[in-house]
Structure 1
Amino acid sequence: MRWLVLFFGGVLVAPFEVNAPDKHLLALRGHSAVLGCEFTPDLNLSNLVVTWQREEDSQVVHSFYYQQDQLERQSPEYHSRTSLFVTELHKGNASIRIAAVSWKDAGRYLCIVSNTKGTGRASMEVTYGALYSEPRLSIHLNSSALTVEFETEGFPKPEVIWVDEHDQTLSCPLELLKHTEDGLYLIKSRYEVKKQVVNVTFTLKNHLLNQNIHRPVTFSYDENIKSNPGTATVVVLSLVCIVLLIGVIWLTLVRRKKLGSTGATNHNHQCNT
């Protein structure tokens, strides 16, 4: 912080100043965000007034005066979510912590401070971001083609890329739906293939949060299954039946072995007597 020093009657006086160290803040969904604000301190806090509010609509985020929080006019969206660093106020720290950040917290904020030395304000902008969840894979098979699809949620809108085994970019449709309730984008992206061997990589990039997700998909399938999807079910049921049959045979052999062992023990005991 730079100070402009004034000279009055042989006394050095620093002008009152309010400053936001970071003009832009990236807030992560569900985490706490600290909006920084500094002011020219005064050891006497009895006249200190600190007000945080939204710049676009002037709704009150947090208020402090008479040496305590005054939250009667606080916007309901911030109830039980804001706090000042009260023990740091005498040092000129009027920063505020906002807990459980959501998409509604994005926007411009004003830090307004006044004390016996003067009144001032500083503004800053909060940007909201949410990491994309682990992509959910689904595979759909019909008579004409096979479709590989990934689905995930996050914010903001990402860059989605599909590449084949030769690192060639593939053209794939991207379905984008915004959830207004939680402020997340629901992403559905799919790749359709008519070959029996699938070897592709799904890549999602959230540039705001430097998040990169790479998910390779490699498998092959029988052409008979594609022409008759019911075949897959029959194959699975047949395998299950075989496994059950092997289990029954194994249990029968074990039981016979135990019975034979018991009989032999009884015979030896009778001979010894």
Structure 2
Amino acid sequence: MKKLVTVLYVVSALLGAVVSSPLVALYGSDVILSCTFPHKPDSGTRRVMVVWQRKDSSGSDQVVHSYYYQRDQLDQQGEAYRNRTQIFPEEFCKGNASLKLMRVRLEDEGRYTCYVGNEQDNVEHSVDLVVTAPYVEPSLNFDLSNQDDHILLVFTSSGGYPSATIQWLNEAGNDITENSTTTQLADETGRFQIRSEVVFPAVENLSYTFILENRALQQRITRPVSVTLETPATL
């Protein structure tokens, strides 16, 4: 196995490596990591060798999936990828050595490299995988206790990744985020739980806007807040 990978490294370096644009995948979903290579439709596929690798946190190459001798060779597969990968040998005749990664986790983020050797060429193709998760609909709470002539507004949300950008605007559209307090804590899955609060004077009418952005996913949640306070009638 090590000898095979070494040979592909050397030859592909001579041909030049291809790096695709980052691929964005949703947490918990399945994703296809593309890898193509020159292959004539009428040539055989018996000698096609495919090795998908990724560097781990220590910088060592970890086998994600490998295929040669006309079958999957998973003895050296990294434990984190057990029962979560698939390639499609029937697609080799089309020059397709793509990898299916199932049930994507946050720790799957990183650069994946595909090494392919066949009867004609040896190629190297890399793709950067970015994992994201959308934030759930924010919930709003009011707290009037222990606030002398002030109102505490609190927005909470969860389930998102990576950490979000939070913004508060006043009625005129001016940024007042510096007057707010926001905490973002990772849960056991690594996704974030958000709590953002701000204290406003208890005037008759309030009009503010809360904005949450997950820029990696291009998710933007905008929630206007309007509060009307009624003065109790005097007898």
Instruction: Please report the TM-score for the alignment, with normalisation by the length of structure 2.
Output: 0.79
2:172 alignment partner, SS class? coil
Task: Please give the alpha-carbon distance, in whole angstroms, between the structure 2 residues aligned to 1:200 and 1:39.
Answer: 54
Q: Contact between 2:19 and 2:125, CA under 8 Å: does it hold in 1?
A: no
Task: Please give the alpha-carbon distance, in whole angstroms, between the structure 2 residues aligned to 1:135 and 1:165.
Answer: 20
Name the one with the larger helix percent: 1
Alignment partner of 1:166 is 2:166 = no
Question: Which residue among 72, 84, 87 is the counterpart of 1:84?
Answer: 87
1:126 alignment partner, SS class? strand
1:18 Cα offset (Å): 8.2
- 5+ residue gaps, structure 1, are 1-15, 225-273
Alignment partner of 1:202 is 2:202 = no
Alignment partner of 1:186 is 2:179 = no
Give the partner amino acid of 2:165: E
Give the partner amino acid of 1:51: V
2:216 alignment partner, SS class? helix
Q: CA RMSD in A?
A: 2.2
Task: Please give the alpha-carbon distance, in whole angstroms, between the structure 2 residues aligned to 1:63 and 1:169.
Answer: 52
**Structure 1 residues 19 and 90: CA distance shift in structure 2, 3 A:** farther
- 5+ residue gaps, structure 2, are 1-13
Q: Which residue of 2 aligns with 1:151?
A: 156
Please show how residues 1-273 of structure 1 align to structure 2 within 5 Å.
20=18, 22-41=20-39, 43-55=43-55, 56-144=59-147, 145-153=150-158, 154-170=160-176, 171-179=179-187, 181-196=188-203, 197-221=205-229
Give the partner amino acid of 1:152: S
Q: Which residue of 1 aligns with 2:3?
A: none
1:68 Cα offset (Å): 1.8
Give the partner amino acid of 2:151: L
Task: Please give the alpha-carbon distance, in whole angstroms, between the structure 2 residues aligned to 1:210 and 1:186.
Answer: 18
Q: Between the two proteins, what is the percent identity of the paired residues?
A: 33
Report which of the two structures shows the higher radius of gyration computed on alpha carbons: 1
Task: Please give the alpha-carbon distance, in whole angstroms, between the structure 1 residues aligned to 2:118 and 2:174.
Answer: 63
Task: Please give the alpha-carbon distance, in whole angstroms, between the structure 1 residues aligned to 2:46 and 2:35.
Answer: 19
Q: Contact between 2:156 and 2:196, CA under 8 Å: does it hold in 1?
A: yes
Task: Please give the alpha-carbon distance, in whole angstroms, between the structure 2 residues aligned to 1:72 and 1:208.
Answer: 35
Give the partner amino acid of 1:149: V
Task: Please give the alpha-carbon distance, in whole angstroms, between the structure 2 residues aligned to 1:32 and 1:21.
Answer: 21
